[in-house]
Structure formats: structure tokens, C-alpha cells
Structure 1
Amino acid sequence: MRALKEIRSWGRSMLGVARWQPGVLVVVVAAVWLARPPVPVLATLACGVVATAVGLRCWALTRPVSFGRATALPRTWWWRRQVREVWPDVAAARGLDVHGLPELRTIAGLWPHLRVTVRPVRGQMVEDYEAAGPALQTALGVARVRCEPRGFRDIVLHLTVGDELRRPFPATARADVLDLSSLPLGRTERGETWRLSLGPHTLVAGSSGAGKGSVFWSLAFALAGAVFDGRVLLHGIDLKGGMEILMGRELFSTTATDAGSAVASLEHLVTLMRDRNAVYAGKVRSHRASQDEPLHVVMIDELAALTAYSTERDLQRRAEAAINLLCSQGRATGFVVIACLQDPRKEVIPSRGLFTQTVGLRLKDASETAMVLGDAAAATGASCHRITRDVPGTAYVVPEDGGPALRVRAGYASDDAIRDVAQRFATPVLLDVPPLVSDDLGRRPRRPSRETSTDQEAS
């Protein structure tokens, strides 16, 4: 299968070269034919061309980022030409040229990112160009189109013409975790390291098969060194019987695989949080992880199974209350919640607003993208619902500085890699969770029936 894909890739590349500069190709073939060099010279020349092509292809496959940077100039020139050729047709198809063709003022940037500055015709708005974005994306065959205003007159179209996130890569664990404020989870569409802030409570939303496990284990791998030295304690909750977290159970100080043990673990963490709050009161305003006062990271594999789908209403209510307390009071004292779920609707996760950092994997539709990342991110090119199934772990995130949503991909963690990391970085701290006790507090008293009230009044 891979061989067939490679053959097709070579065929497309040769066709692309022939279509790109057909005149140059004809001249080269004619020159070789007229010169009629000796066979040894011709064979040497052919071998040199083949060896160069194979070497470039191997470079592109093994080091796509460096290959892209090295060939950025010719690719950028080619894409600039393509944009200018396609623009009149796209503008006409989307009705942008009714009162004249919008002017392409500049095409700047370097592959794989181009910035196309457009001078709109009077009466046009940014929303008109946002609506034309999908048409331009399809016409050019680019990975992403994002629009934003520049000044008072111009509009900038940001084109991502190459997909550096296409190929999967392994998640890695490091022994020396010095900075716990942000963790390396994978790569961004710019070829840079994707770092996720650790501190804000994080909600990871994605459909089945979208790659929530990649984000989950990339985060656990990034914390492995701090787990091993006791500065971080991981608490795993997986109501699918532990299929996910028990693969790397040695990393977790506590694990819960059913609703009862999950509620017991969450309420125990609330107790630890309140004890630390009492110690910090009037003395410390922010937590710094250490072996004496570790950072507690709660990792929930499927949040909705705990807060919405549970058939035991009392456990569901207690789980919601504990999560709300941890999310609203835990950050300053070193308690962080990382939760994954498939359905981001408010009725499924009422406390969605308490998760101030969101990661949007592949979702069903544009409305779910807006639920997870916000209307502004969805309007400016964050298209979680357009992520294809063959790139699990790919997501959109909104940076902390409030900038435009960034396309990222988390590393892939195989079963063997999870077991290996769990054994090498096993936590030295195992916590005993008190057994779950019944909770009569907070229950609404039953309303007396009308007959009982009548009898009491009569007496």
C-alpha cells in the first residue's frame, strides 16, 4: 500500500513539473536530443538526476520541516503566481467583482504561509471575504484560509499552503521537566513546538476517533519527569473500565474506573484543596510545585460519563459539585483539571465555562466548533468540523494572548510507548482514597403531599 502511494506521489510530482514549466521541459529534451551525447555521459546524467530526486524525496519524508524551509523560496514564488491566476475566478464566483475586481495589493510571506493583502471594493466587509474563504481554499488546494482586517481599508487573507501536520510523529517523554507552566505536546502548523499552558483548567473536545488519546497521553508524557521526582501527582479517571488509564497506571497516584470511585477521588481532592487553601490563606497567593506540596493534575478521559450519562443521580450531582469546586478554587493552590469529552453541549457539561482553556479536535459541525472555541475563533478560520479522519490528534487551540486560533497536532502514543514510559517514570507517591460515604447534605427535602398537609391542618 505504501509503495503504491509513493508511486502515485512520484507520478503527480512529474506531472506537476511538466505543467509548471512545459516550455523549459521541451527545450531541455530538445537540447539533449540534438546534442546526442555519448551513452556513458547520458547514463551518468540520468543517474545524477535520479539520485538527486530520490535524495530530495527522502529528505522531504524524513525531515519535512527543514525540507520545506530549504525549498521555501521557489515554492513561495509558485504559490504567488497561483493566487494571482485564481483570484479573478474566485472573486467572480463569490460575487466580489460586481462593482469591480478587488485589488491584490501584496502577496508576502514565505512557504507554507502567505499573506495576501486585498483592497476591497467600497461596500464590502470582512464577512464577505470570510464567506469566500472556503472557495479560495478549494480553488488553490490550500490547508487553511483565515481573514482579518488591516487598518481601515485593507483585508489580509492568511493562506496556509502546506500541511506540516500531515504525517504523524511519536509523543516523547523527557526526564528533565524544568518548566511546568507550559508543556510540549506536539507541533503547530508553523512547524514550531506546540506548548499547552498548565494551570488553566483544560477541556479537550472531539468526536470518536478524533485523537483525544493523543492529547491525553502527550500531556502525561510531558509531565513524566515531574511525576517521577514527585513534583506532580496525576489522578486518572476513566469510566470506560480503565481501558485508557490502566495502560499506564504506574504514572497515576490514584485511579478511578467507576462512578463511585471517581466521586470518592474527586471529593478527596476537594478536601486536600481546602486544607491547602487554609494553609495558604494570608500567606501565599500562588502555588509552586515541590515534593512537599506537589501539583495535583486530574485527568478525566470521558467527562460526560461522569456528569451527564450516569444513571445514579446522586453520584452525578456530587461529581459536578466536586469538579466545579476544583475548577473554581483549585488553580491558585495547585489543582488542575484536564477533561476530555465527545459532546460539548452545555446540557452535557454544565460547568463548561469553568474550563478556561479549550482544545478543539475533529467535531461534528460548525456549531460545536463555536461551542468549544468561541464564535470569534470559528469565524476566523478555526474549522474543527473540517478536520479529516486520517489526521487524529489534529486540533485548533486559541492562544492565551487572544490571537487567532492555531492549528496543532499532538504526538501519537502507542500502547508499547505508554507501558514503557509508565515503567520508567513511575510515580513514587500512591495515595489512599477514603471510601465513598453517603451524602445526605444538599438533598432537597421531599415536599409533603396535599393529603398530609390537609390532615395536619385539620388536627
Structure 2
Amino acid sequence: MFKKLPGDETRSLVSTTPDTAVVFRPAVVHTPAIISLVLWLCRLVPRLVRLVWRHPLAVTVPVLVGVVWVRYGYGLALVVFGLVLTVGLSWFSLDRASFLRWVGWRLLAFARWFWIYRRHWQPVLTVAGLARHLRGRDYLPRLVRVECNEWADRVTVRMLGGQAVKDWADRTDNLAHGFGAPSCRVAVERAGRLVLTFPRRDPLANPLPAVPVPDAASVGPVEIGQQEDGRPLRLKVHGTHVLVAGATGTGKGSFLWGTIRGLLPAMRAGLVQVWALDPKRMELSFGRPLFGDRYAADPKQCADLLDEVVCVMQERADRFAGLQRNHTPTIQDPFVLVIVDEVAFLTAYQSDRQLKQQISAALATLTTQGRAVGVGVLAALQDPRKEVMNIRNLFPDKIALRLDESEQVDMVLGDGARDRGALADHISPIPQLGAGVGYVRLETSPDPVRVRAAYVSDHDIRAMVADFEGVSR
């Protein structure tokens, strides 16, 4: 398969004289200088064109100043440079966002491409085991381009033929340390191309205030926080089921209350009903007046409430059969959201076996049949092991907050999620830094997204109760 290189045939030579080494001198072919020059130019010209195309500002300005210096002297060159600098500063002061989009981030991308990635590309990939040396020839993945935004570098890479995404996902720690970044995440752009994300800073380091209650009634997606790239975090609850997993004190309540806060106008309009199961009696009890009779804390009451929801779901299924396949919230048939705080207490730690089976069967029925008729489940738990939550795969959308073990990340988000950069076990245990921070993996996308839910304080909850008490009745 590989062409034999000069020197390979020495392996088959055997000396008949003892203590005599076999010396082999391969034939030397002298290439004419003109051919070497043409080959060198054929490689240089495309690279220059590609450099100008991808970094026009970083190339044009120095070249322009250099040409003016050579033809008219350094005085005029300094004037041109000062004019360009003045225009840039004026643009920056008048419209910072557009300046950064068209100039700032592109100059930063060129600087980091030249000084960080291009400079260390070969040694880092060689040590990480992503480059190959076969039969005297080096094979190196190609650095396609570098893009920068406010918080991270996005490096597009063309993989070697025969490499898999897992080869890169298994070496994210090597890549992060090699290029001086706190972490690295791998995403597939298209066949044969990857996008490596190297954060430069953490935009989710500070807690977020509660998102204002929406003015319009809607069943979602509801805004509950912020994504790492600065876009709002909107959680879809209608037409899906959501599982939130995280150790104690990680901010699961922020996701629960943030969702309720976003649905309050729809609850007032009669388009949404929230059924709350609060076996700990600590989290959802703050807003108990919002739920009316649809609140349960005792395990027996929780089981009865779940059976009532199942009856509602089955009655709708009988009416919708043959007429419609998707649910549209109305006052007659509102969207029903079942919120279960610490679901493991009901499904795994419940001492009454019959009650535990009843609750598990009801949850399994809701998560397998409820989406089409407008019944959704939002559940939170601490321990994601299968023996604790054996129906976790029935939740299409999953959120992993801080977890105790690296293996638990894949338990929650699916196989390979941690290799793709979902380092939920590395989230800070300090509440100021890590509460509400997690990774979201949606049914429609295999790539986890780092997010932070806004903190809904006790004062915010009391204000919600005062303004919307009884709207769910």
C-alpha cells in the first residue's frame, strides 16, 4: 500500500562476513533548481492568497504602510498609520459592537492563529498522538481557520483520513493544556472537519438575576438564563420531557423556578397547568399557592396526583385519536407540566414497594405517552444511576449540573458527552461560581451546551405568589 522508500531494502540484506556491518548508500537524485523553485512557488502562492482572503485587514494595513514608506518615506507612512488608527478608534467609540465584529475579533483571530495555534500546531498534535509518522513521512491534520468571539476561540480542523471524532474527543485535555486554554470542546462541522472551542474566559462566572416575567402568555420555550455564547437560555417544556441532574446545592431549583416564572402569564391565561410534586417539602412549597390543589408532598399524595395526571392524559388520547397528532394549548385542553423535585425519593428510596411501583409506572406512562397530548414532565434528581432512575432515557432533553463522578456525566447526557466537553464533574462547588451552571443536551443536537440558569430568590418567589396567587385554579 505504501511506496517503498530508499533504504527499506537494507532489512533483507545479510552479511556473510562476521563482524562486518552492511553499509547501504541510497542513490542521490539531483533535482534541477528550477523545478524546486516552481514547486516552492506552487505552495507559496496559494498560501498567500488564503492568508489575504482570511485576514484581509491584518495583511492590507501593514502592506499599505510599507509601500508608502518605501515610495514616499517614513513621514507619510506614519501619517497613513495614524489616520488608520484614528479611524479605528473613532469607529470603536461610536459603535463598539460593529467594530469588534468586523475588525476587533478578526485581528485577534489573526494574532492567535499566528502566535498560538500555527506556532504550536505540530508539536502539540504530535505529542497528543493526533499526528502520524509513517514510512519516513509526517502526516499532520490541517489547521483550516481560527475565529474569535468575546469569550472563546473556534479552531476549524481538517482531520486525517481514517481519523474519528473520538480520537480527538479523547485528547481534549492534551489540546487544552497544549494551547494554554482552560478546556477544549469538540464539535463536528461536517464530514472530515471538526471545530475545537477553546474558552479564553468564563462568561458564566457571576450569578444571573432572575429573568423578568414575560408580558405575553406562551408555553415556551421559556427564557430561564444564559448560554455560554451570550445568547438567552430558552428551555423547551411543551412537547418534550426534561431531566435535571446534579448534586445537592448545584442550583436545580433555579431551573424549576425559572421555568415556572416563564410560564406564569400562560398560567394566568389558563393555557398552562403546573402540577407540583415536592417530596422534600422545601423547594416547591414556597410557591404552593400557585399550584392550588395540584400540589403534593406526601408519597401517597404524590402517587395519587400522578395517577390523576395519567387519567387526564388518557382521556385526551381517547378524544384526540384519529383527529390530531400534536397538541395546541387551549383553555379546554391546557398544557400540563408535571414538576417533580427529587424524583429519586419517589422511585428508588421509597420504602413502600407497592407505592414505589405505582409511582414508577405512572412516570413511565407519562414520559412515553404524554408528549403528543400536551403533558410534559420536568424532573430533578441528585443520583443519576440506573438503579436510582431507571427511566432516565425516556427524557429527550437532559441537563447535567455539577456531578460527583466523571462517569455520571455520560449517564445523564449520553455516551460521549464528557469527551465532547461536558465537564460537569469539574464545575466549581462554590455556590457563587457554580450554582446553576450546567450542560444541556437536547434531543435535536448531540453537542452539549454550557449554560447558567438565573437565580430565582425567595423574594422573587414570594413576589410571584403575591402577583399570581391562584392563577392555576
Q: Give the structure-2-normalised TM-score.
A: 0.71
Following TM superposition, by how much is the alpha carbon of 1:342 offset from its aligned partner in structure 2, in angstroms?
A: 0.8
Which of the residues 396, 416, 419 maps onto 2:439?
Answer: 396
Are the structure 2 counterparts of residues 288 and 349 from structure 1 closer, same or farther at C-alpha, using a change threshold of 3 Å? same
Are the structure 2 counterparts of residues 103 and 324 from structure 1 closer, same or farther at C-alpha, using a change threshold of 3 Å? closer
> Given residue 406 of structure 2, which amino acid in structure 1 is its aligned partner?
A
* Corresponding position: 1:115 with 2:154: yes
Following TM superposition, by how much is the alpha carbon of 1:113 offset from its aligned partner in structure 2, in angstroms?
A: 3.8
Which of the residues 79, 89, 95 maps onto 2:112?
Answer: 79
Rounded to whole Å, the distance in 2 between the matches of 1:385 and 1:65 is 35
For residues 405-436 of structure 1, what are the alpha-carbon distances to aligned partners after superposition, in whole Å with 9 as ceiling and x for unaligned?
Answer: 21111111111111112221223343xxxxxx
Give the ranges of 4+ consecutive aligned residues of structure 1 lying more than 4 Å apart after TM superposition: 64-71, 119-125, 148-155
Are the structure 2 counterparts of residues 273 and 147 from structure 1 closer, same or farther at C-alpha, using a change threshold of 3 Å? closer
Are the structure 2 counterparts of residues 334 and 427 from structure 1 closer, same or farther at C-alpha, using a change threshold of 3 Å? farther
Are the structure 2 counterparts of residues 65 and 164 from structure 1 closer, same or farther at C-alpha, using a change threshold of 3 Å? farther
Larger radius of gyration: 2
* Corresponding position: 1:191 with 2:230: yes
Structure 2 match to 1:130: 169
Are the structure 2 counterparts of residues 314 and 171 from structure 1 closer, same or farther at C-alpha, using a change threshold of 3 Å? same
Are the structure 2 counterparts of residues 76 and 214 from structure 1 closer, same or farther at C-alpha, using a change threshold of 3 Å? farther
Q: Is the 8 A contact 1:207 1:363 kept in 2?
A: yes
DSSP-derived class of the 1:379 partner: coil
Are the structure 2 counterparts of residues 150 and 331 from structure 1 closer, same or farther at C-alpha, using a change threshold of 3 Å? closer
Following TM superposition, by how much is the alpha carbon of 1:270 offset from its aligned partner in structure 2, in angstroms?
A: 1.5
Following TM superposition, by how much is the alpha carbon of 1:326 offset from its aligned partner in structure 2, in angstroms?
A: 1.5
For residues 184-224 of structure 1, what are the alpha-carbon distances to aligned partners after superposition, in whole Å with 9 as ceiling and x for unaligned?
Answer: 12111111111111221111111112211111111111111
Structure 2 match to 1:267: 307
Rounded to whole Å, the distance in 2 between the matches of 1:66 and 1:379 is 35
Which of the residues 211, 216, 232 maps onto 2:251?
Answer: 211
How many pairs align?
A: 368
Are the structure 2 counterparts of residues 388 and 104 from structure 1 closer, same or farther at C-alpha, using a change threshold of 3 Å? farther
> Given residue 405 of structure 2, which amino acid in structure 1 is its aligned partner?
D
Are the structure 2 counterparts of residues 232 and 140 from structure 1 closer, same or farther at C-alpha, using a change threshold of 3 Å? same
Which of the residues 124, 138, 142 maps onto 1:90?
Answer: 124
Structure 2 match to 1:346: 386
Structure 1 match to 2:457: 414
Listed as ranges, the matches of 1:236-315 within 5 Å are: 236-240=276-280, 242-253=281-292, 254-315=294-355
* Corresponding position: 1:167 with 2:206: yes
Rounded to whole Å, the distance in 2 between the matches of 1:399 and 1:429 is 28
* Corresponding position: 1:374 with 2:374: no
Q: Is the 8 A contact 1:145 1:159 kept in 2?
A: yes
Rounded to whole Å, the distance in 2 between the matches of 1:294 and 1:121 is 53
Q: Is the 8 A contact 1:146 1:380 kept in 2?
A: yes
> Given residue 406 of structure 1, which amino acid in structure 2 is its aligned partner?
V
Structure 2 match to 1:4: none
> Given residue 193 of structure 1, which amino acid in structure 2 is its aligned partner?
P
The root-mean-square deviation of aligned C-alpha atoms, in Å, is: 2.9
Which piece of structure 1 moves more, 245-254 or 171-180? 171-180
Rounded to whole Å, the distance in 2 between the matches of 1:359 and 1:307 is 19
Are the structure 2 counterparts of residues 173 and 118 from structure 1 closer, same or farther at C-alpha, using a change threshold of 3 Å? closer
- Give the gaps of 5 or more residues in structure 1: 1-51, 57-63, 431-459
Q: Is the 8 A contact 2:204 2:452 kept in 1?
A: yes
DSSP-derived class of the 1:377 partner: coil
Following TM superposition, by how much is the alpha carbon of 1:161 offset from its aligned partner in structure 2, in angstroms?
A: 2.9
Are the structure 2 counterparts of residues 79 and 426 from structure 1 closer, same or farther at C-alpha, using a change threshold of 3 Å? farther
Structure 2 match to 1:439: none
Following TM superposition, by how much is the alpha carbon of 1:358 offset from its aligned partner in structure 2, in angstroms?
A: 0.9
Rounded to whole Å, the distance in 1 between the matches of 2:414 and 2:98 is 34
Rounded to whole Å, the distance in 2 between the matches of 1:391 and 1:296 is 31
> Given residue 332 of structure 1, which amino acid in structure 2 is its aligned partner?
A
Rounded to whole Å, the distance in 2 between the matches of 1:227 and 1:187 is 23
Rounded to whole Å, the distance in 2 between the matches of 1:117 and 1:279 is 51
Following TM superposition, by how much is the alpha carbon of 1:307 offset from its aligned partner in structure 2, in angstroms?
A: 0.4
Q: Is the 8 A contact 1:118 1:154 kept in 2?
A: yes
Which piece of structure 1 moves more, 258-267 or 108-117? 108-117
Are the structure 2 counterparts of residues 260 and 68 from structure 1 closer, same or farther at C-alpha, using a change threshold of 3 Å? farther
Q: Is the 8 A contact 1:206 1:361 kept in 2?
A: yes
Q: Give the structure-1-normalised TM-score.
A: 0.73
DSSP-derived class of the 1:190 partner: coil
- Give the gaps of 5 or more residues in structure 2: 1-88
Q: Is the 8 A contact 2:291 2:470 kept in 1?
A: yes
Are the structure 2 counterparts of residues 135 and 234 from structure 1 closer, same or farther at C-alpha, using a change threshold of 3 Å? same
Structure 2 match to 1:8: none
> Given residue 356 of structure 2, which amino acid in structure 1 is its aligned partner?
Q
Rounded to whole Å, the distance in 2 between the matches of 1:247 and 1:425 is 13
Q: Is the 8 A contact 1:173 1:224 kept in 2?
A: no
Q: Is the 8 A contact 2:274 2:472 kept in 1?
A: no
Structure 1 match to 2:34: none
Structure 2 match to 1:334: 374
Are the structure 2 counterparts of residues 427 and 135 from structure 1 closer, same or farther at C-alpha, using a change threshold of 3 Å? farther
Following TM superposition, by how much is the alpha carbon of 1:359 offset from its aligned partner in structure 2, in angstroms?
A: 1.0
Rounded to whole Å, the distance in 1 between the matches of 2:451 and 2:399 is 10
* Corresponding position: 1:201 with 2:235: no
Structure 2 match to 1:158: 197
Are the structure 2 counterparts of residues 156 and 325 from structure 1 closer, same or farther at C-alpha, using a change threshold of 3 Å? closer
DSSP-derived class of the 1:223 partner: helix
Rounded to whole Å, the distance in 2 between the matches of 1:336 and 1:83 is 46
Which of the residues 156, 167, 185 maps onto 1:146?
Answer: 185
Following TM superposition, by how much is the alpha carbon of 1:103 offset from its aligned partner in structure 2, in angstroms?
A: 5.1
Q: Is the 8 A contact 2:145 2:157 kept in 1?
A: no
Which of the residues 139, 143, 156 maps onto 1:105?
Answer: 143
Q: Is the 8 A contact 1:205 1:342 kept in 2?
A: yes
Identity of aligned residues (%): 34
